[in-house]
């Protein structure tokens, strides 16, 4: 089975001050899933492939950040447009803080999401939880009703 490829912009992965960015906890959790599956079966192909599209001008700085957190992920430089990189990478999902890049990716047929920085910082290294919300367009609005009536924990 081919890996689930996720492209992430470097500005979503790291903040300007070198600290982890809004996409960092998700990327770290996906790398942890890969690691745990490898521990159970060394022959298993990693289900998640992460590719960082460098939006910084300093590639060495980005490589240092990635090495510092031991992420071991592929980096592509921003010598092409975001869409040209996505065409080459063929990701299932593109994550960025840049809303315009996300719109362009969606317009070109890629799954994409704008990552918004929050103050929430209680992330787990032990579990990965993902919730998809199609805003009642792609899916029914049942999850929206549950969240509105009973809160996110009930969802």
Show the CA angle centred on residue 50, arms to residues 134 and 155, nearest 5°.
30
CA distance 42 to 36: 10
Cα radius of gyration (the chain): 16
CA distance 112 to 89: 14
Catalytic site includes residue 133:
yes
CA distance 14 to 55: 10
Helix or strand (DSSP H, E) at 107: helix 99-107
Catalytic hit among 61, 121, 133, 135: 133
With both helix axes pointing from N to C terminus, report the angle between 82-89 and 99-107 in degrees, rounded to the nearest 10. Answer: 50
CA distance 35 to 55: 27
Active site residues: 133
């Amino acid at each position: 089975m081919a890996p689930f490829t996720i492209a992430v912009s470097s500005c979503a992965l790291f903040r300007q001050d070198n600290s982890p960015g809004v996409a960092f906890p998700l990327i770290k959790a996906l790398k942890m899933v890969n690691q745990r599956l490898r521990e159970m079966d060394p022959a298993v192909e990693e289900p998640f492939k992460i590719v960082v599209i460098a939006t910084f001008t300093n590639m060495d700085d980005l490589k240092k950040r990635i090495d510092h957190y031991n992420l071991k992920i592929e980096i592509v430089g921003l010598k092409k447009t975001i869409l040209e990189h996505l065409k080459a990478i063929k990701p299932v999902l593109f994550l960025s803080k840049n809303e315009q890049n996300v719109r362009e990716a969606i317009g070109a047929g890629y799954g994409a999401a704008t990552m918004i920085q929050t103050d929430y910082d209680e992330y787990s290294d032990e579990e990965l939880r993902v919730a998809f919300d199609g805003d009642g367009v792609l899916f029914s609005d049942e999850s929206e009703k549950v969240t509105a009536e009973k809160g996110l924990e009930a969802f």
